[in-house]
Structure 1
Amino acid sequence: MRKYDQLVSSLKEKMDSGEYSAGIKIPSIRHLAAQYAVSKSTVIKALDTLEREHLLYSVERSGYYVVKTKQSAGKQDSTWIDFASSAPDPVVFPYVDFQHCINQAIDLYQNDLFIYGTSNGLPSLLPVISKRLMDYQVFAHPEQIVMTSGIQLALSILSTIPFPNGKQTILVEQPGYHLYLQYLEKNQLPVRGIQRTEKGIDLIELERIFREEEIRFFYTMPRFQNPLGTSLSKQEKRAIAALAEKYDVYIVEDDYLADLEFDTKRDPIYSYDQAGKVIYLKSFSKIIFPGLRTGAVVLPEELITPFSEHKRLIDIDSSMLSQAALEIYLKSGMFERHRDRMRASYRNRSKQLVASLKNDDQSAYQLGEWEPATHTHVRVDRSIPMNQLIQQLKKASVSIQPIDRHYLKAYQKDPIFQLNIWQVKEEQITRGVDLLKTVFQQITRY
């Protein structure tokens, strides 16, 4: 066995045994090189490998730490393959870095964090967010930005406040973000759907709806749409912005996975907006961790006051501690390092998934158009009973998620299921797809 492999194996054994327990700092590179009689470059290569496997986590100018997880690294259930979960993998959360930022925030801001702040957000954070949004081709003044306790809160406010166009109906994609659809129906708000497929949105139908119906705003996920995983083309985004201006309809653009984008030329609808009709939503939950509950909303000038006033009544202000920690995290360079690590991890998983799915001659299902992200969808022949498919896969220790919940109740549902790679390890993907194919063959054989 090579010295590199011996080192990796030895470090894993120490983590499994508890000698290197969760959260502690392991010995330095120099110490490990001397201990194992290897070069520093070999140690660095081994530590990088363990970091890619989410067993270690690096902190700049500090060292490497064992990742904190609910299960020890050697006791995770490797038999169950979870293609259903859309929650980020806990082992990639930047625990140590963000804990450091929280401690720094308390030392820096002290009492300011534990009293009521400003409803629009921590004043020192807003310019940092404004600068960060430039990376996504969103150029907005800090005065246009409001920080919220997650994007869900922002959507509920936008669905409640009156809009300058005086219109009432909210237009949503079908399928679309299930929690928002449930919110709209639960509160009996006027809503209607427009079909979105792997080919995009029918722009002729969209224009007809804008022209003939009283649409207040159109809620869309142009990038890596949930649940389909596809993105709108540049031409579609330009057209949507132009139609919004022509028919006085606002666009609520949910860009929740902007940080996982590899194509630097893929801009949001906001960048094509000439009339101030696009409201841009940016979440940090997926890229950092869901419990952060901090989102940014970029508003047209005429909506800033009504949005802020309504937010003050139901939220007073979003967590100052979270915002202060986020400010330090963004300014320190930790965010870029974590984002790049996340991109690489999910890109590798996504490429492996699509390669495994496309290497097949199945006629019973159709793979959605793929882009390297965190999820895609599979369209199943209507002759295949979805419940039977799910149960058969469950027996094979594979979970998948049908997308029925991503439709309004009255909308016709397509036979589609979603494949997420958020919590599927690279070494599980090929085996999971093979099991998926086997179950398809068993069902279609009869």
Structure 2
Amino acid sequence: MKIPIDRQSSNPIYLQIRDYFSRLIQSEKLAAGQRLPSIRALSESLQVNKLTVIEAYRVLEVEGLIHARQGSGYFVSSIANTKFTLHSNFAPTQEVTIAQGDGSFLEQFIASLHAQHQGNIIDFSSGFPSSFRIEELQRVAKRSLSRAADLLFRYNFPQGQLLLRQQIAQLLLQQGLEVSPEELIVTHGSEQALSLALRYYLQPEDWMIVETPTYHGVLGILKNLGAKVIGIPMTATGMNLELLEQYLRSHRPKLIYTISTLHNPTGITTSQTHRQQLLALAEQYECLILEDNAYEGLNFEPVPAPIKALDRHDLVTYISTFSKTLMPGLRVGYMVVTGKHYQPLVEQKLLNDLHVSTVSQAIASEFLASGLYRRHLGRLRTTHLQSRNAMLQALEQHFPKAIAWTVPQGGLFLWTHLPDRIPIQTICREALSQNILVANGAAFFLSKGYPAMRLNYSHTLEAIEQGISILGKLLKKHSASNVKTIKIASKIKADTTNTEVDKPKFQSYY
């Protein structure tokens, strides 16, 4: 294939390649399902580095124009010629909330479990990675148990097996975070890591800061802990840093809880500048940071290194997990703790449960050692990108125009911001009656927030189209009812106002 390349242009070559294929796809000269030249063939034809072609294809993939098939190459996406917006219109009101944590996490968690066991429900409320083929999982488990057999009949270190910690350190290095195995603690998923950290850093009645909305599991822990919580609103680019500084100055909280990459529930990833500014504020006001990046590794495009990578004063504790990228049932997460806090947290881990299951650690270690984990992440990114694009397309087609949503660059969720006065509980209930389970956004706020839904897009394209179509009909029905109610209320108010205007005249006459 001959592609005109201007090597003197200020436009990078990989973008010239992207632009060429984009024009062909958008004009339908390349049809859906058509295979693109292989990376090797195109690099030889254009006499450019393979990495240049890889980067061009990566951008096309992020834009939803092409997708990869394992072992087969890149193909034009079936939805490539359907236009949808790749820019978020999310712009919520910036209101700070002060309250204690909420306790609705259990309710939504159990509802999702019931939905999974029922089988005929499209569960938009929670997200899990695609499962491995059972034969592949069995082979990995068999090898890992064989190698760890001598460890099964005795206790292990509370901070986790050394080999696994070494492998996690290598994984984090690829994400821009340099850490030693002696600064890692393996936990029962990130939920245990969060609980250990919050109970270690906070006492009842201590002030702390969270983003709002935020992960509802943390709100449940904080409610049990009795901490006083300040909810700083999210903007389209992350936590509102101006409001953050204001409350750091006025309340002197002990801890900031943040999800910097693929935020739960909004899907927002903050920029390098935002991360630097947040850390600078924490340093200025001597406040610790708990960085919870459970979805790190599921990004569609490169993301900045974690805030922890910038930390030079041991202010940041970093948490992540394999539950969202490998399998939830393993219950293997980890935390990076540097400086004086490491040993006390290891002690807390020991007193909590001695150590994480030796079997679970061995299986996670084998996935990392065999290279299956890296290949699995690649498959997840490809399938999630297609399903995210399908959901964006379905939202534009079926949802009322007044609804805003985020456009996450990875992960499992996007966040929809509904107009005020929309009866979100009624919509969730009616959706469930039609076998659609959604996460009511109220669960992710400290107290009453704006109407919203968190939608998980890790489904088949057919399930996404069916589910969003049903939700769209419900939203349009209740939006229309809401407009009628507002018009009636406005008329009553106008009539009342006119009556009250006339009344003083009558009295003054007499």
TM range (shorter): 0.7 to 0.9
1:374-389 matches, cutoff 5 A: 374-389=412-427
Q: Please, which moves more after superposition, 357-366 or 129-138?
A: 357-366
Of the three residues 317, 322, 330, the one matched with 1:279 is 317
Matched letter for residue 283 of structure 2: E
Residue 444 of structure 1 pairs with residue 479 of structure 2: yes
Q: Tell me, in whole angstroms, the C-alpha distance in 2 between the residues paired with 1:121 and 1:174.
A: 33
1:160 matches 2:199 = yes
Structure 1 Cα separation of the partners of residues 390 and 397 of structure 2: 11
Secondary structure of the 1:146 match is strand
Taking the aligned partners of 2:198 and 2:119, their CA distance within structure 1 comes to: 42
Query: Equivalents in 2 of 1:206, 1:217: separation in Å?
Result: 12
C-alpha distance in 2, partners of 1:354/1:266? 24
Alignment partner for residue 129 of structure 1, among 147, 165, 168?
Answer: 168
Question: Residue 444 of structure 1 aligns to which amino acid in structure 2?
Answer: S
Matching of residues 33-432 of structure 1 within 5 Å? 77=120, 80-84=121-125, 86-88=126-128, 92-93=131-132, 95-162=134-201, 168-359=206-397, 362-408=400-446, 411-422=447-458, 424-432=459-467
- Give the Cα–Cα distance (whole angstroms) in 2 for the partners of residues 391 and 412 of structure 1: 19
Give the drift of 1:162.
Answer: 4.8
Q: Distance in 2 between matches of 1:119 and 1:235?
A: 36
CA distance in 2, matches of 1:234, 1:300: 21
% identical equivalent positions:
26
Per-residue CA shift, 1:52-94, capped at 9, x if unaligned? xxxxxxxxxxxxxxxxxxxxxxx974xx43322x1315x5245
Cα distance in structure 2, aligned partners of 1:265 and 1:87: 21
- Post-superposition Cα deviations, 1:309-341, rounded to whole Å, max 9, x if no partner, equal 111111111112211221111011111111111
Aligned length: 366
SS in 1 for 2:148: helix
Tell whether the 8 Å contact from 1:173 to 1:196 is kept in structure 2 after alignment: yes
Aligned equivalents of 1:143, 1:255: Cα separation in 2: 20
Equivalent position amino acid for 1:301 in 2: G
Inter-CA distance 358–235: structure 2 relative to 1 (3 Å threshold): farther
Contact 2:390 2:465 in 1 (8 A): yes
CA apart distance, 1:428: 2.2
Deviation at 1:439, TM superposition (A): 2.2
- Cα distance in 2 for partners of 1:372, 1:125 equals 26
TM-score by length of 1: 0.76
Tell me the distance in 2 between the aligned counterparts of 1:105 and 1:361. Answer: 48
Question: Is the 8 Å Cα contact of residues 158 and 307 (structure 1) preserved in structure 2?
Answer: yes
| 391-400 vs 151-160, greater mean Cα deviation | 391-400
Q: How far apart in 2 are the matches of 1:445 and 1:324?
A: 56
The equivalent of 1:24 in structure 2 is none
**In 1: Cα distance, 2:206 partner to 2:426 partner:** 41
How far is the alpha carbon of 1:205 from its aligned partner?
Answer: 1.3
The answer to whether the Cα contact below 8 Å between 2:209 and 2:232 also exists between their aligned partners in 1 is yes
Larger Rg: 2
Gapped runs of 5+ residues in structure 2? 1-70, 73-117, 482-510
**One-letter amino acid matched to 2:405:** L
Secondary structure, in 3 states, of the residue corresponding to 2:289? strand
Per-residue CA deviation, residues 345-395 of structure 1 (Å, 9 max, x unaligned), is 111100111122234683332223443431111111113211232233334
Runs of at least 5 residues in structure 1 that lack an aligned partner in the other structure: 1-43, 46-74
Do 2:399 and 2:476's aligned partners in 1 also have CA atoms closer than 8 Å? Answer: no
Work out whether residues 422 and 479 of structure 2, in 8 Å CA contact, stay in contact via their aligned partners in 1: yes
Kindly report the root-mean-square deviation, in angstroms, between the aligned alpha carbons of the 2 structures. Answer: 2.5
Alpha carbons of 1:158 and 1:353: their partners in 2 closer, same or farther (altered >3 Å)?
Answer: same
Q: Confirm or deny: 8 A CA contact 2:384 2:412 kept in the other structure.
A: yes
Q: Give structure 1 regions of 4+ aligned residues with deviation exceeding 4 angstroms.
A: none
In the alignment, the residues of structure 1 paired with residue 424 and residue 197 of structure 2 have an alpha-carbon distance, to the nearest angstrom, of 35
Contact 1:198 1:228 in 2 (8 A): no
In the other structure, the counterpart of 1:50 is: none
Aligned partners of 2:375 and 2:423: how far apart in 1?
44
Please say if residues 251 and 279 of structure 1, whose CA atoms lie closer than 8 Å, have aligned partners that are also in contact.
yes
**3-state DSSP of counterpart to 1:260:** coil
1:213-247 C-alpha deviation (Å, 9 max, x unpaired) = 23222111111211112222222111111112222
SS in 1 for 2:414: strand
- Distance in 2 (CA, whole Å) between partners of 1:184 and 1:191 is 8
Amino acid at match of 2:146: D
CA contact (8 A) 1:225 1:231 kept: yes
Partner Cα distance (2:133, 2:208) in 1: 37
Residue pair 1:216, 1:249 contacting (<8 A) in 2 also: yes
Structure 2 length normalisation: TM-score?
Answer: 0.67
1:242-296 Cα shifts (integer Å, max 9, x gaps): 1122221111111111111122243221222233221111200011111111111
In the alignment, the residues of structure 1 paired with residue 201 and residue 478 of structure 2 have an alpha-carbon distance, to the nearest angstrom, of 51
CA pair 371-358 structure 1, distance change in 2 beyond 3 A? farther
